[in-house]
Structure 1
C-alpha cells in the first residue's frame, strides 16, 4: 500500500504547488505511525517538530515548493 499512498500524495502535492500556487505544505501524523512518516519522507517532507493535536503526540512535517521542485527534477 505504501506505493499507492506515495503516488496519491505526489499528485496532491502537484495540485497544491502547481495549480494552487502554495508556497509550502504541512502535514502531521501520530508519533507512532511509522508508515505515514515513511510516506511523508519519501515525498520530500522534512520533520519540523513534535506537536500535540487532539491531545495526542504528533509529528509535524513541511515541504516547500522549492524542495518539491528539486525532488521532481
Structure 2
C-alpha cells in the first residue's frame, strides 16, 4: 500500500479561511501460484488500484484477483 493523493476541493461555504480536502488510497498487489513439486509458476498477476479509502481499494483489488483466477482455477486443481 502506498500513500495516496490529496486533492484540494476549495473552501467550505460559510467558513472563512477553510479548505476542503479529499483523499484517495492506492494499493498494489503482486501474487503468484507455484507448483510446490516442480517449482513452476502456474499463475501470476499484478494489479494497481486507486480507491476512496484503503478498505474499498483492497476490496476492489481482491475482487479483481478472484475474477482473474476463476476461469483458470479448474485447470490448476489436480486431485491426487
Would the TM-score normalized by the shorter structure come out above 0.5?
no
Name the one with the larger helix percent. 1
Give the structure with the higher percent strand. Answer: 2
Query: Normalization by structure 2: what TM-score?
Result: 0.26
Q: TM-score, normalised by structure 1?
A: 0.27
Relative contact order (alpha carbons < 8 A, sep ≥ 6): 1 or 2 greater?
A: 1
